[in-house]
Chains A and B, each alone.
Chain A
Amino acid sequence: MLVIAFLAFIACTFEDIESDIGSQSNPNSQVQLAAQVGQVNRFFNKAISGEPLSNAMYCVVAGTVVWMLLIKLEPLVPGATWKAAVVAIPIGVGVAALIHMIFSTSAHCGRVAGQKRFEQPIYLDVLYGHLLPIATHGFMTTFCITSIAYIQSNIGTLSGNPQLNHPFALPLLGFIWGITVGSIGSSTGDVHYGTEREFQDRPFGEGKRVVYHGKITRYAECGVRTQKDIAGFCAKFGGPCTGMTFGLIILFENWRTLVGMLLGGFLPNLPAFTASGDMAAIGGIVMGLLIVAAFVVGNLVFVKWVRKKCGPFVGV
């Protein structure tokens, strides 16, 4: 369970940084708007689709390739099926990374070509220079998600009790966690990129006003800013925070089910569809409600603390 939570942390951290390098998320609306308000820029403008759907696509592609390879490879190594996974997972994820690069190229060129009337050029060095960082960060995300899906779909087989395997197949689990990782990356980490890094020459400590929209920060600490400068900045806070969000969710979700199973006396015996199974479910639900209550109270305390620390708005 801790391995899965750790992999989730890595996956979502890299997902957020990948979306910052490729500018694939809600803050990309400002990159899109920049050229239209006369701010010609050297940002990579990739918004293939919403982050959840594109990540689900990479994870399903990887999961399907891995699944097919496992079917062929596992009979070759009887008794040590993990060896098949060691070969299959990187190959499957590699295929997904290639597809990721193809989509990135077409999305960037298509979007920027559409801005010709605003005199926004397609900088070829920006295109070539960002493809590899995008693919490598995307590879890490897809690799971790596929590994999580592999562990979850085979956890029973790996621990010697096939009944504990998750009922969903590997590609479907990849789809679920792909959607979730994109959803979290889009809703949490992008705030750091959109509110802070995109408008770094505006006052700190306030929401970005509508009049600032499109007027993004185009000059970096050294030279003209590209997305590579943004990745380094967001990797210090936005990325790890996003990773922790997904890691905590995976940890809590698996932990409360496991605690419920233990409380209901469901483990190590598995008397499914009995009062024991019902008790296991009730235990999981109660643990989950306690976690939710803790976060609600935590937010009450946190908001009160932030309001006190920052005080009312004093700008103009």
Chain B
Amino acid sequence: MEPVMFLIVGYVVIGGLLASLGAHLLPVGGAPAAMGTATGIATGTVQIMLGAVLTGLFTAANVATFTDNILLVSLSGAVGATIMLVVVMFMANILYAFGCGVVPISGRVDVDPITKEPQAPYKTPQTDGHGVPNVVFISGTLGGFVGGFGGALMYFTLLNYAHFTAGTAAVASFSIFVANAILAAYNIRGTIEGFHDPKFKRLPKSMIASFAISLLAGIVVVLAAIGLGVI
């Protein structure tokens, strides 16, 4: 057993756990958010997570061509995913405000934990909030950063430690990410607003599942690398 094998499995597990944590931090409104019936981004957990992480992965792959520092590559991916999410959330708010006349309001808390703005008086009855209020925006920003970091970390590991080609490393890291994001989506069951949402307390269960699937994925990556004769 060579140390690099433990390194690969370890980084893949860390990446998977970060993917799960990032998915729980994202404000996912799903179909109800598209009708202004729930707070958050109007699409599914996996859909928005993949969009963000792949944007980060694009930049991370670019950066990995001129630096071999794992932290810098991972941070580049994290910032890429964060930029994607902040632009999406901001533009969604513009659409809610000017296209639908809807005020961004959280449905899960009466007072915004960050800005202390009251939420309940602005909420439409029989809805679970609407738009992307500030606390949700901050949570989504953190989620994008954490998820993007995990995705880029896995990409770098597969590229430089398991010696996959750039394309294969991207597809493999993306696939491990999808598995973790789907597990998180099952745990979330519909919509979540972020760290202030009661559903966020379910996170440990998802982390255990993510640990198991990422460990298995890491072992498969090591076996593939041994099979290819690169380590």
Interface residues of A, Cβ cutoff 8 Å to B: 25-27, 29-30, 50-53, 166-169, 172-173, 176, 179-180, 182-184, 186-196, 198-199, 204-213, 237-238, 241-242, 244-245, 248-249, 252-253, 256-257, 261, 266, 270, 272-273, 277-278, 280-282, 284-285, 288-289, 291-292, 295-296, 298-300, 302-304, 306-307, 310-313, 315-316
Residue ID in chain A nearest B132 by CB atoms: A299
CB contacts (< 8 Å) of B129 on chain A: these are 207
CB contacts (< 8 Å) of B52 on chain A: these are 183
CB contacts (< 8 Å) of A248 on chain B: these are 87, 91
Contact B63 A284 (CB under 8 A): yes
Kindly identify which residue among A53, A208, A238, A282 contacts B72, using a CB–CB cutoff of 8 Å: A282
* Interface assignment of B187: CB less than 8 Å from any CB of chain A: no
| Min CB gap B186→A, angstroms | 16
CB contacts (< 8 Å) of A172 on chain B: these are 167, 170-171
Contact with A along B26-50 (1 / 0, CB 8 A): 0000110111110001111011101
Contact A195 B63 (CB under 8 A): no
| A168-B61 in contact given A188-B92, A252-B87 (Cβ < 8 Å) | yes
Of B2-10, B119-127, B192-200, B202-210, the one contacting chain A is B119-127
| Min CB gap B8→A, angstroms | 20
| A195-B34 in contact given A52-B50, A179-B54, A183-B48 (Cβ < 8 Å) | yes
| A188-B47 in contact given A196-B99, A198-B35, A273-B66 (Cβ < 8 Å) | no
| Min CB gap A9→B, angstroms | 12
Contact B125 A278 (CB under 8 A): no
Report the Cα distance A152→B84, complex, angstroms.
18
* Interface assignment of B113: CB less than 8 Å from any CB of chain A: no
Report the Cα distance A302→B93, complex, angstroms.
9
Q: List 6 A-B contacts (CB under 8 A).
A: A167-B62, A168-B170, A195-B130, A209-B37, A248-B91, A270-B66
CB contacts (< 8 Å) of A29 on chain B: these are 31, 34
Residue ID in chain B nearest A289 by CB atoms: B79
| Min CB gap B153→A, angstroms | 14
Contact B34 A194 (CB under 8 A): yes
* Interface assignment of B179: CB less than 8 Å from any CB of chain A: no
In which size bucket is the chain B interface? 35 or more
**Which of B30, B87, B130 has its CB near the most chain A CB atoms (within 10 A)?**
B87
Report the Cα distance A252→B88, complex, angstroms.
13
* Interface assignment of B211: CB less than 8 Å from any CB of chain A: no
Contact A277 B83 (CB under 8 A): no
Report the Cα distance A4→B101, complex, angstroms.
32
Report the Cα distance A30→B31, complex, angstroms.
9
Report the Cα distance A26→B103, complex, angstroms.
20
Report the Cα distance A288→B72, complex, angstroms.
13
Residues from 115 to 147 in B contacting A, C-beta threshold 8 Å:
115, 117, 121-127, 129-130, 132-134, 137-138, 141
CB contacts (< 8 Å) of A207 on chain B: these are 35-37, 102, 123-124, 127, 129-130
| A303-B82 in contact given A167-B65, A209-B124 (Cβ < 8 Å) | no
Report the Cα distance A192→B91, complex, angstroms.
12
**Which of A184, A196, A282, A291 has its CB near the most chain B CB atoms (within 10 A)?**
A184
Identify the 8 closest CB pairs spanning chains A and B, nearest first: A183-B51, A205-B101, A207-B36, A288-B79, A194-B34, A167-B166, A26-B34, A277-B66
Contact B66 A204 (CB under 8 A): no
CB contacts (< 8 Å) of B137 on chain A: these are 296, 299, 303
* Interface assignment of B97: CB less than 8 Å from any CB of chain A: yes
5 extra A-B contacts, CB within 8 A, seeds A192-B99, A248-B91, A310-B122: A176-B55, A195-B96, A209-B124, A280-B66, A295-B86
| A272-B65 in contact given A183-B48, A207-B127, A253-B59 (Cβ < 8 Å) | yes
Kindly identify which residue among A167, A168, A182 contacts B51, using a CB–CB cutoff of 8 Å: A182
CB contacts (< 8 Å) of A27 on chain B: these are 31, 34-35
CB contacts (< 8 Å) of B84 on chain A: these are 180, 184, 249, 253
* Interface assignment of B19: CB less than 8 Å from any CB of chain A: no
Contact A191 B54 (CB under 8 A): no
